[in-house]
Structures are given as structure tokens and as C-alpha cells.
């Protein structure tokens, strides 16, 4: 136990504090911020960064999911549809990663490239969310519930693959897609449903990475020590920072980091 305590790194805790505060400010999932920070700033192996961040994200979102559920802000029908696509997609993706070996050069390159493009896609969604919602609404308005359900399952499958490889996608991308598919639902129920789905997806994917040996427990503990107070502080101060200022800055940062990883 004493050895584990000594293995905790205050720099990782500081990173967790800063990323947690940004997540509280913006609502963007920690994976879009934490994973590239671990890879680029600390030189953490990509598979280990993704696996550790997935468990980190799952554990930190449990409380948020519980609050949304208690407030009646979770549509469990949407959660079931997403999970029916994401759970098998995540399992299949993790089996493929295990087959090729987490330490192989090809797996590392795939993870880094997918992470880079996922960050760029997240940046585009953040910048052009309103325009995307208008354009997609024109296409999806005429669809019946059966087709909407099928598209939700497909969305879940896409998120399952993306999150399992890069730990990015369940936040900004998932919420934007759900706002398009379910335009009549209050935004708070969309956000609550997305968070409720993100918890099992992140935990399933994180458990899979644990199974293949790509989770660093000391790193995870260090991040949680900083992120829990960071998220609380960021959420409390969020109303004081204009969204029109934060969104372009965050999107530009993600695009630059994504380009660095993908190219």
C-alpha cells in the first residue's frame, strides 16, 4: 500500500485538476483533453493512455449520471438503443486490439491516428454544431421512430468503436447526434442520456483495456485525486465564462492537437 502511495505523481494530479476544471467549464468529455495530454506531454504509451482514461471517465461520470437519473433527465429508451450498438462494437474492437497486441507498433499507430481524427471531428462539431443541427434536421425530419431507433443503434456502434480505440467521442459528438435524432426532447434529457450511456461504455471499454493490460492504476489514482475537485470547481465557475469565448478556444486547441497526432 505504501509503495502504491509513493507511486502517485503530483503532476498527473495537477493535470487531472486542470482537465477536470475545463470539463466542468465546457461539458466536453475528458477523453478529448486528457488522452492527448498524457500521450504528448507525458509520453504515456497510447494504449495505456486510452485504457486508463476510459476507466477515469467512467468513474468520474457515475455521479453525474446518478444526479441526472434522480432528476428524471435520462431517457432510458435512448440509453438502451445506444448500448445495444456500443457494447458489442466495443467488445469486438477490444478483441481486435488484443489479437494484434497492445504493444505492437501497428496498434499504437492506429490508436494515435484515430485519436487525432477524433479530436479534429470533435473540434468541427464544437464550432459548427448549430449549422450541423440545422442541416441534419432537414434530412431526418421525415423519418419514423423505427428508423430513428436503427440510426441510434448505429450511432452507438460508431461510438463504441471510436471510444474503445481513442476514448474520445461520447461527449460532443454523441450529444450533437442525439440532438439531431431527437429534436423534440429537452436538451437536459439528451445530455443526461448521453452521460448515462457513457458510463457503461467507458467502463466496458476500460475493463477491456484492463484485460489486455493497458491500464496504469497509479496513473488512474493520481488523475482522480485532481479531477474530482477540478470538475466541481469548473462547474461552479462555468456561468462566469461566456460560451462564445470558450468554444472557439477549445475547438482550436483540439484541432491543433488532433492534427499533431493524426499527421
pLDDT per residue as tens digits for the range 114-140: 888 888 887 887 778 778 878 777 777
- Alpha-carbon distance of 169 to 159, in angstroms, equals 6
Band (236; pLDDT cuts 50, 70, 90): low
Highest mean pLDDT among 1-5, 33-37, 203-207: 203-207
Band (69; pLDDT cuts 50, 70, 90): confident
- Alpha-carbon distance of 184 to 190, in angstroms, equals 10
Q: What is the pLDDT of residue 226?
A: 86
User: Which pLDDT tens digit goes with each residue over 157-199?
Assistant: 999 998 888 887 777 788 888 888 888 888 778 878 888 888 8
Residue scoring higher pLDDT (64 or 110): 110
Cα 217 to Cα 5, 194, 210, distances in angstroms: 11, 26, 10
In the chain, the DSSP E strands lie at none
Band (156; pLDDT cuts 50, 70, 90): very high
User: Per this entry, what is the length of the chain?
Assistant: 263
**Mean pLDDT for the chain?**
81
Q: Which region among 61-70, 88-97, 220-229, 245-254 has the lowest average model confidence (pLDDT)? A: 245-254
Residue 67 CA to its chain's centroid (Å): 19
> How buried is 196 (Cβ within 10 angstroms: 0-12 exposed, 13-18 middle, 19+ buried)?
buried
Task: Name the DSSP class of 75.
Answer: -
The residue among 67, 6, 11, 74 whose CA lies nearest residue 37 is: 11
Residue 65 CA to its chain's centroid (Å): 14
In a 13 Å sphere around the CA of 229, the CA atoms on its Cβ side amount to 7
Cβ distance 118 to 162 under 8 Å? yes
Residue scoring higher pLDDT (226 or 68): 226
Task: Name the DSSP class of 170.
Answer: T
- Alpha-carbon distance of 74 to 54, in angstroms, equals 22
- Alpha-carbon distance of 236 to 190, in angstroms, equals 21
- Alpha-carbon distance of 115 to 244, in angstroms, equals 26
Q: What is the pLDDT of residue 187?
A: 77
Sorted by sequence, the CB contacts under 8 Å of residue 46 that are 6+ apart come out as 39, 108, 111, 112, 115
- Alpha-carbon distance of 174 to 238, in angstroms, equals 21
Amino acid at each position: 500500500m505504501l509503495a502504491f502511495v509513493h507511486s502517485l505523481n503530483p503532476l498527473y494530479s495537477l493535470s487531472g485538476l486542470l482537465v477536470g476544471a475545463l470539463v466542468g467549464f465546457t461539458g466536453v468529455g475528458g477523453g478529448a483533453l486528457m488522452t492527448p495530454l498524457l500521450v504528448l506531454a507525458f509520453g504515456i504509451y497510447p494504449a495505456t493512455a486510452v485504457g486508463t482514461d476510459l476507466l477515469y471517465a467512467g468513474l468520474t461520470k457515475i455521479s453525474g449520471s446518478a444526479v441526472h437519473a434522480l432528476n428524471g433527465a435520462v431517457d432510458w429508451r435512448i440509453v438502451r438503443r445506444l448500448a445495444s450498438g456500443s457494447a458489442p462494437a466495443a467488445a469486438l474492437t477490444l478483441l481486435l486490439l488484443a489479437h494484434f497486441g497492445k504493444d505492437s507498433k501497428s496498434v499504437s499507430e492506429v490508436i494515435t491516428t484515430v485519436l487525432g481524427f477524433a479530436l479534429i471531428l470533435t473540434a468541427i462539431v464544437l464550432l459548427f454544431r448549430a449549422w450541423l443541427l440545422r442541416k441534419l434536421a432537414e434530412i431526418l425530419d421525415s423519418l419514423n421512430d423505427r428508423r430513428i431507433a436503427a440510426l441510434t443503434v448505429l450511432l452507438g456502434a460508431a461510438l463504441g468503436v471510436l471510444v474503445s480505440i481513442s476514448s474520445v467521442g461520447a461527449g460532443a459528438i454523441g450529444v450533437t447526434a442525439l440532438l439531431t435524432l431527437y429534436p423534440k426532447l429537452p436538451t437536459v434529457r439528451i445530455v443526461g442520456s448521453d452521460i448515462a450511456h457513457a458510463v457503461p461504455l467507458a467502463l466496458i471499454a476500460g475493463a477491456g483495456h484492463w484485460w489486455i493490460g493497458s491500464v496504469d492504476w497509479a496513473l488512474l489514482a493520481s488523475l482522480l485525486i485532481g479531477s474530482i475537485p477540478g470538475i466541481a470547481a469548473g462547474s461552479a465557475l462555468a456561468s462566469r465564462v461566456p460560451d462564445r469565448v470558450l468554444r472557439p478556444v477549445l475547438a482550436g486547441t483540439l484541432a491543433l492537437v488532433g492534427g499533431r497526432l493524426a499527421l
